[in-house]
Amino acid sequence: MNNREEIKKNIIKPMVYCFKTVAKVRPSLFVLYIIDMIMKFASTSLGLLMPKFILDEIVLIVKEGTDKHLNLVILYVIMHLGISGLMNLVNAYTLNIKSWMQVELDLELEVRLTSKSVSMSYEYTEDPKFLDKLQAARDGISWYSGGVVGMLNQYYNLISNIVVCLGVNILLIFTCPVLILIQAAGIAIEAYFNYRINSIELEAFSKLSTANRLFGYFFWDLSRPEHGKDIRLYESKKMMADKADEFVDGMCNIWSGTSKRTRRNQYGSNFFNTLKSVGSYLYVGVKALMGLYTIGNIQMLISACNQVYESVKTVAFSIQEIVKKGNYFNKYLDFLEIESDMKFGDKLLEGRNHTIEFKHVYFKYPRSEEYVLKDINITLNQGEHLSVVGLNGAGKTTFIKLLCRLYDVTEGEILLDGCNINLYSESEYRKLISVIFQDFQILAFSLRENIALTEIKNTDENRIVEVLKRTGLYEDAMSLKCGLDTNLTKQYDRQGTQLSGGQSQKVAICRALYKDAGVVILDEPTAALDPVAEYEIYRQFEDLVGGKTAVYISHRLSSCQFCDKIAVFSEGTIKEYGTHAELVKLENGIYAEMFMEQAKYYNDCGIGKENPVMA
Ligand code: ADP
C-alpha cells in the first residue's frame, strides 16, 4: 500500500466514519468540542500573559512602591483566578456530558458489530479466522482506539494544539525566535522515538487477537454454570488451571517482549527531552543576565517554550495516535465490510403449500475435504411428517442444517416449489422454517421472551398460553413466581428460575410452535424428556404440528411410528426410505435391526408393557 492509500485507509476512512456516526447519533457532541477548543485557547493565553503582568507589576511595586501597581496586581490576580475557575467549571461540565455520550456511542458501535456478526453466514461462526477478525474488531473499538470518542479526542487534540501552537509561536517570533529552533530539534527527535514505540505496539496487537479470544474462553466462558458440572465431576480443575497457566505464560511473553522493546525507545526519548529543557533555560538565563528580559518576560518565555513543546509534541503524538488508533479502528470497519458468502435472492413464498426437494445433494463442511452427505435425494410434500434416523455421525443434523440453509450445498440443489432455495429472500426462507436443535439455548430472558423471541410489545399472549397448554407446560409456567415474566436463568435476576431439562425442551418446542412456520424441524426434541413425557409429546404430535410439514430426528425409534415416512441415514447417504411398516419388514435392514434392538430394551425394562407405542 502506498502512502496515499495508507492515509486514506488509516486516517480519512475512520475519521469520516466517526464524524458520520456522531452526526447521526449525537451531533451535539461537536458543540462540546468547539466549546472545549475555545476554552483551551483562552486558558493558554491567560496562563502565559497573566503571570507576566503580575510579576512585572510586583517588581514595579518593589521599585516604585505605589498603590497603583498594587491595585493592578490585585485586579490581575482576581481576573486570573475568576476566569480560571469559570473555565474549570465549564470543562468539568463538558467532560461529564461527554462521558455519557461516549457510552451511547460505544453502544451504537457494539450494536452495529453484533448485527453484522449475526447476519453473517452460519459457517463463519465455526471459522477461526472469522472469529479472530470479530475479536480484532471488538478490540479495535475498545480501549485500543477508545471508540468514536477516543478517535474524536485525538482529532480534537490535533486541531486545538495546532491552534495553540500557532498562537504561541507568533508570540515567540516577536520575542525570542531562537527558542523555536531549540524546541523544534527536541520535538523531532522525540517524535522519532514515539514512532518506533507505536510500530512495536501495533505489531503486538496483531498477535493478540487470538490470545484475547482465548483469554475470554478461559476466564469467562469456562466459568459459566453449564461448564461447572463437567469440571467438578471429572475433577478437571487441575487440567483447566494448567491450561490457563500455559495460556497466561504465552500472553505474558508477548507483553514482556513488547515492553522490553518499547522501554529502550522510552529512555532515548526522555534523554533528549531533558537536553532540550536545559538548552532553553540556559539561553533565556544568559539573556536575562545580560539585562535584556524582565522577570515577567523570563516567566512568559519559559512558559511559552513549554507550551510550544507540549503542543507540538501533542500534535505529533496525536498524528501518531490517529494513525495507530485508526489502524485499530479499521479492524472494526474491515469487519463491517466482510461480505457474507451466502447469497440470497428476492423471490417470495407463494401460498401456504410447499414442496421441498433435495436433488443429488452432496456436502462437505468448509475447510474440510470429506463429503459428509453424498447424493441425497428426497422430497418433502406439504403436511408430510418425515422421521430421520441413523447412527451418530451419519449426517442427520447436517441434512437439517442444509434444509435450514445454514450452509449451502457443495453439489446438487435444494428446490422449494421447484425453485432453487438460493433464489428466495433470506427473511422469506427463514419464515418458512422453525427448528429446535438438540443444543437449543434458553436465553437469560423471561419465559414470554424465550418463546416469542421478539420485542415484548409484539408478543401475542394468547398464543403463548395456547402453545404452553399444547406442550403441557402451562401449569408449570403458572406456578412460577412471576408467571410468564419469570426470567429463565438466575444469572441476572434473583427472582429467576432454572427449568429442568425436560421443561426447557418444552420451552424450545413452544418456541417452534409459536413461530407458526410452515415447516417444523425437531432435532432430537425429546432427548431430555422422560419416556412418559416423550410419549405424550408424540401422541399429540399431530395436534402439535397440525397440518404442517415436519421433520424430526430421534434416537427413539418408537416415535417414528407417528411419521408418514422414515429416512434412514448411514455413511452420509439415505440407505432406506419408507413407512415404519415397510422398513421393519426389510430383511437385514438397518432400521429393522435398530428397532428390534430398542424394542428389546423397552421390553426388558417393562416400559413397553404400559406403553404400547414403545413396545
Ligand atoms: P448426526 O447428526 O447424524 O450425528 P452430523 O450431521 O452431526 O451427524 O455429523 C456428520 C459428520 O459431519 C460427522 O462426521 C461430523 O464429525 C461431521 N461434522 C459435523 N459438524 C461439522 C462441522 N461443523 N465441521 C466439520 N465436520 C462436521
Maximum pairwise Cα distance, the chain: 124
Q: Kindly state the cell numbers that stand for 67.
A: 498603590
Work out which ligand 1 atom sits closest to the CA atom of 553: 2
pLDDT at residue 367 in the model: 85
The answer to whether the beta carbons of residues 280 and 183 sit under 8 Å apart is: yes
CA nearest to 347, candidates 427, 401, 413, 409? 427
- Give the residue ranges of DSSP H helices in 120-177: 128-140, 147-175
pLDDT averaged over 10-residue windows placed end to end, the chain, 615 residues: 80 95 95 93 90 89 80 90 91 91 92 87 83 91 88 94 92 88 85 84 75 71 64 67 77 83 87 86 86 86 88 85 91 90 86 91 92 95 91 90 92 94 90 82 87 80 90 89 87 82 85 87 71 67 77 77 87 92 88 82 49 38
Strand order in the sheet with 565-570: 433-436, 519-523, 549-553, 385-390, 565-570, 573-578
What's the 365 CA to ligand 1 centre distance in angstroms? Answer: 8
What's the 399 CA to ligand 1 centre distance in angstroms? Answer: 10
Neighbouring CB atoms inside 10 A of 391's CB total 13
Beta strand pairing call for 573-578 and 373-380: unpaired
The sign one gets for the Cα dihedral 518, 523, 529, 532 is positive
Q: Which helix (H) or strand (E) holds 415?
A: strand 411-416
| DSSP classification of residue 53 | H
The answer to whether the beta carbons of residues 386 and 551 sit under 8 Å apart is: yes
Give φ, ψ of 574 to 5 degrees: -90, 110
Mention every residue, 6+ apart, whose C-beta is less than 8 A from residue 428. 347, 348, 349
What's the 572 CA to ligand 1 centre distance in angstroms? Answer: 10
Q: How many residues does the chain have?
A: 615
pLDDT at residue 542 in the model: 67
What's the 393 CA to ligand 1 centre distance in angstroms? Answer: 6
Whether residue 395 has its Cβ less than 6 Å from ligand 1: yes
> Strand locations in 473-559, DSSP E?
519-523, 549-553
Considering only CA atoms, which residue is closest to atom 5 of ligand 1? 395
Beta strand pairing call for 519-523 and 433-436: parallel
Work out which ligand 1 atom sits closest to the CA atom of 569: 3
The answer to whether the beta carbons of residues 183 and 190 sit under 8 Å apart is: no
pLDDT at residue 504 in the model: 86
The answer to whether the beta carbons of residues 34 and 98 sit under 8 Å apart is: no
CA nearest to 371, candidates 392, 349, 394? 394
3-state DSSP call for residue 573? strand
Beta bridge partner(s), residue 361:
376
> Strand locations in 304-405, DSSP E?
356-363, 373-380, 385-390
3-state DSSP call for residue 256? helix
What's the 439 CA to ligand 1 centre distance in angstroms? Answer: 14
Considering only CA atoms, which residue is closest to atom 15 of ligand 1? 393
Among 124, 372, 391, 575, say which to mutate for ligand 1: greatest number of ligand atoms within 8 Å of CB. 372
What's the 117 CA to ligand 1 centre distance in angstroms? Answer: 23
pLDDT at residue 220 in the model: 67
Beta bridge partner(s), residue 521:
435, 551
The answer to whether the beta carbons of residues 438 and 481 sit under 8 Å apart is: no
Considering only CA atoms, which residue is closest to atom 19 of ligand 1? 398
